[in-house]
């Protein structure tokens, strides 16, 4: 079993450094607290004839253990703000790239592809169920929505996780750095079939992606015609 983070295949790697930074800070504090706890439990355990003493508290200590966590949280907030804005703020999203529409419903992902013209809402759009195909090295701009309940669009290897909310169109973007097969999951308990609400992510080279789109569009048109 692998305990580390899933393989990283997107440009959002800075999330990992923040993740590890927070893990180290909270880990050190956790260990310190536990060591102190065990020490105090043993040091001040019950002994025959020793009376408990009332201690009111200590202003200096309280100021210190309030100010230090405050500074840590402030530091983490500033450190992660840039990454957060880069990933979540639609005003900073890349202009170019492949537009996709992802519609979640109990219990599947329907992905609308723009086809060869690279634009949605045109005649060569087509839909694939539970199969997310993207080109490598190109920004992917997803318009995310849900038909029934709240789902969560989760691409663990891409460090992408975003709620899909009925009645809302939420913008998501990412860029793959490596071709291959990855996982698409739902990260929001959305009903009895939640556990099987998963799909695959296939990262192609841009040429392969173009070819796949053209073939898939033809295949679906023939299927509809027959």
Contact residues for Cu ion, defined by CB under 5 A: 151, 186, 190, 197
Please give the helix or strand (H or E) that residue 207 lies within, else none: helix 206-225
Task: Tell me whether residue 101 or residue 151 sits nearer to Cu ion (CB atom).
Answer: 151
Q: Give the span between the Cα atoms of 196 and 173, in whole angstroms.
A: 24
Least gap, CB of 147 to Cu ion (angstroms) = 11
Least gap, CB of 186 to Cu ion (angstroms) = 3
CA 221 to chain centre: 34
Task: Tell me whether residue 115 or residue 191 sits nearer to Cu ion (CB atom).
Answer: 191
SS (H, E, C) 81-99: HHHHHHHHCHHHCCCCCEE
Least gap, CB of 88 to Cu ion (angstroms) = 20
Least gap, CB of 203 to Cu ion (angstroms) = 23
Task: Tell me whether residue 162 or residue 213 sits nearer to Cu ion (CB atom).
Answer: 162
CB contact set of 190 (below 8 Å; sequence gap of 6+):
104, 106, 107, 149, 150, 151, 197
Task: Tell me whether residue 196 or residue 219 sits nearer to Cu ion (CB atom).
Answer: 196
């Amino acid at each position: 079993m692998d305990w580390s983070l899933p393989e990283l295949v997107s440009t959002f790697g800075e999330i990992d450094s923040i993740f590890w930074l927070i893990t180290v800070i909270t880990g050190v504090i956790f260990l310190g607290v536990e060591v102190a706890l065990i020490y105090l439990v043993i040091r001040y355990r019950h002994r025959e004839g020793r009376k408990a003493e009332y201690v009111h508290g200590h202003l200096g200590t309280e100021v210190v253990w309030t100010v230090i966590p405050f500074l840590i949280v402030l530091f983490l907030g500033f450190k992660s703000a840039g990454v957060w804005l880069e990933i979540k703020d639609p005003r900073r999203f890349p202009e170019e790239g492949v537009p996709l529409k992802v519609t979640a419903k109990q219990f599947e992902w329907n992905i609308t592809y723009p086809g060869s013209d690279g634009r949605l809402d045109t005649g060569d759009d087509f839909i694939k169920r539970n199969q997310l195909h993207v080109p490598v090295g190109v920004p992917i701009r997803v318009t995310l929505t849900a038909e029934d309940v709240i789902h969560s669009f989760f691409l663990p290897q891409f460090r992408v996780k975003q709620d899909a909310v009925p009645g809302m169109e939420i913008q998501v973007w990412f860029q793959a750095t490596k071709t291959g097969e990855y996982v698409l999951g739902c990260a929001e308990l959305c009903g009895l079939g939640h556990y099987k609400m998963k799909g695959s992510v296939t990262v192609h080279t841009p040429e392969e992606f173009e070819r796949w789109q053209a073939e898939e569009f033809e295949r679906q048109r023939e299927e509809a015609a027959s």
